Amino acid sequence: MPINPDAVGAEGHPGEFSWSSKDSLLYALGVGAGAMDPTGSELQFTTENTNDVPQQALPTQVVTLGMGAGKGPDFGDFNPVMLVHGEQAIRLHQPLPAAGTAVSTTRVADIVDKGKACLVVLENNVADTDGNPMWSSSNTLFIRGEGGWGHQREKQPPANVAPDRDPDQVVSYQTRTDQALLYRLNGDRNPLHSDPSFAEAAGFPKPILHGLCTFGFTGRALLHALCDSDPARFGSMDVRFSSPVMPGDQLDVKIWNEGDGAIFQTCVGDTVVIDNGGFGFS
């Protein structure tokens, strides 16, 4: 069956999942962390046995955890070639441990007709095994060829619009030409990021970088620039993916300080690849 607009509000069955120290190390490497960042050491994210440096997890790692846990809500079928990741938001209710066990529940928050496409908004809430909230996320899927059935959401003004002034900070990271092959080991094996023929069928000249990999690079920049590299200060991050990134591109994260948070964009040259970015402190 095609996308089912009546699935709004449907909730999947909770599922328990775990992650390890190795998973956290692999994620950090997948989003470009190394021995050093321009702001200082990153060994707390990339090693587990450095003297006097306890291992920590990058806050954005939550987007890779719990995928497939439990039984997700059914909202219909679609051709995966037509799927584009549109928006992503995360809220951390406590710092993410480097290893742990949690329970995830996913619900369909909205399905919106865009004419020749539709938006499916999935919300995910994660708690520890005692029921204490750990994080929540919202993931918007843009699915081409699945619209035309009538439900239009009232258009809202864009959030987190970049101010009309130079950014207060710019953090630049160079991605690797094989970045997508490394990042996919975190669980997203979509061939759009590895198979040239699949990427061509989706309209791209070659495999593109995962949007969530760009999200992770951007989160690293915010963590170091705004939180003094302390994950406990990292509260929330909202983005809209506006243009694809190719492995090997340089990412320039432009940050406008807003007192209790920040607005940001991520650019490749003059092209904005992450827009409407909002950051909040814990």
Q: Where are the beta strands (DSSP E) in the chain?
A: 15-19, 36-37, 40-41, 83-92, 100-113, 117-128, 133-144, 169-174, 234-241, 250-257, 261-268, 271-281
Cα distance between residue 78 and residue 27, in whole Å:
29
Give the full edge-to-edge strand order of the sheet including 15-19. Answer: 15-19, 100-113, 117-128, 133-144, 83-92, 234-241, 271-281, 261-268, 250-257, 169-174
Cα distance between residue 190 and residue 85, in whole Å:
12
Q: Of these residues, 23, 37, 188, 252, which one is catalytic?
A: 188
Q: Please indicate whether residue 188 is annotated as part of the active site.
A: yes
Strand partners, 77: none
Q: Please indicate whether residue 193 is annotated as part of the active site.
A: yes
Residues 6+ apart with CB under 8 A from 239: 87, 88, 89, 215, 218, 274, 275, 276, 277, 278
Residue identified by tokens 């990427």 is 199
How many Cα atoms sit within 13 Å of 145 on the Cβ side? 10
Cα distance between residue 280 and residue 226, in whole Å:
10
Q: Is 193 helix (H, G, I), strand (E, B) or coil?
A: helix
Tell me which H or E stretch contains 26. helix 21-30
Q: Of these residues, 193, 224, 249, 252, which one is catalytic?
A: 193
Cα distance between residue 190 and residue 15, in whole Å:
22
127 backbone φψ class: left, alpha, beta (φ>0; ψ -120 to 50): beta
**Catalytic amino acids?**
188, 193
